[in-house]
Amino acid sequence: MRQLLALIRLDLKLFLCDRRALIMLFIVPIGLASFMGSVFSNSGGKSSVGGGMGILLVDQDVSAVSRGVVDAFANDPTFRVTVTNEAAARDMVLNGKRPLAVVLPAGFGADALPGLFDTNRKPVITLLHDPSRSMERSMVEGMLVPKVIQAVAQNGLSADLGRDFIRRGLTNLDRATQVGARDQQLYRSMMERADEFLATRTNRSLFGSAKGPTTGSPAKEFNLPLPFVTKAEALVKNTKSEYNGYAHAFAGMSLQFVLMSLLESSVGLLRERESGMFRRLRAAPLSRGTLLLAKGLSYAIIGLLSLGGCFAFAMVVFGVRINGSWPGFILCLVLTSLMSAALGLALAALGRTPAGTRGIGIAVVLLLLMVGGAWVPTFILPRWLQSAALVTPTRWALDSLDAMTWRGLGFDAALAPAGVMLGFIALFATITWLRFRWTAE
Partner 1 sequence: MSDLLLDAQQLVKRFGPRTAVDGVSFTLRRGEAVGLLGPNGAGKTTTISMLSGLLLPDGGEVRLGGQPITGDTDPRKRLLGLVPQELALYEELTARDNLEFFGALYDLAGAALATAAESALKFVGLAERRGDKVKTFSGGMKRRLNLAVALLHDPQLLLLDEPTVGVDPQSRNAIFDNVEELRRRGKTILYTTHYMEEVERLCDRVIIMDHGRIVADDTLSGLKQRRTSADRVFCELVEVRDGSWLAGLEGIAGISRAELAGTRLTLHVTDLHGGLGRALEHLRRVDVVVASVESQSPSLEDIFLELTGRSLRDG
Measured from the CB atom, the residue of 159 and 267 that comes closer to partner 1 is 267
Burial class (CB in 10 A: 0-12, 13-18, 19+), 107: middle
Q: How far is the CB of 289 from partner 1 (least distance, A)?
A: 9
Measured from the CB atom, the residue of 228 and 278 that comes closer to partner 1 is 278
Residue 191 burial (CB count, 10 A):
19
Strands 79-83 and 124-129: unpaired
Measured from the CB atom, the residue of 6 and 284 that comes closer to partner 1 is 284
Measured from the CB atom, the residue of 276 and 327 that comes closer to partner 1 is 276
Q: How far is the CB of 292 from partner 1 (least distance, A)?
A: 12
Measured from the CB atom, the residue of 226 and 281 that comes closer to partner 1 is 281
Q: How far is the CB of 285 from partner 1 (least distance, A)?
A: 4
Q: How far is the CB of 267 from partner 1 (least distance, A)?
A: 16
Question: CB–CB of 248/99 below 8 Å?
Answer: no
- How far is 382 from 67, CA to CA, in rounded Å? 27
Measured from the CB atom, the residue of 119 and 287 that comes closer to partner 1 is 287
Measured from the CB atom, the residue of 20 and 271 that comes closer to partner 1 is 271
Q: How far is the CB of 436 from partner 1 (least distance, A)?
A: 14
Q: How far is the CB of 281 from partner 1 (least distance, A)?
A: 7
Q: How far is the CB of 272 from partner 1 (least distance, A)?
A: 9
Q: How far is the CB of 279 from partner 1 (least distance, A)?
A: 5
- How far is 73 from 145, CA to CA, in rounded Å? 11
Measured from the CB atom, the residue of 253 and 440 that comes closer to partner 1 is 440
Q: Which residues bind partner 1 (CB under 8 A)?
A: 275-277, 279-288, 439
Measured from the CB atom, the residue of 199 and 293 that comes closer to partner 1 is 293
326-351 helix and 393-404 helix, angle to the nearest 10 degrees: 160
Q: How far is the CB of 298 from partner 1 (least distance, A)?
A: 12
Type of residue at 251: A
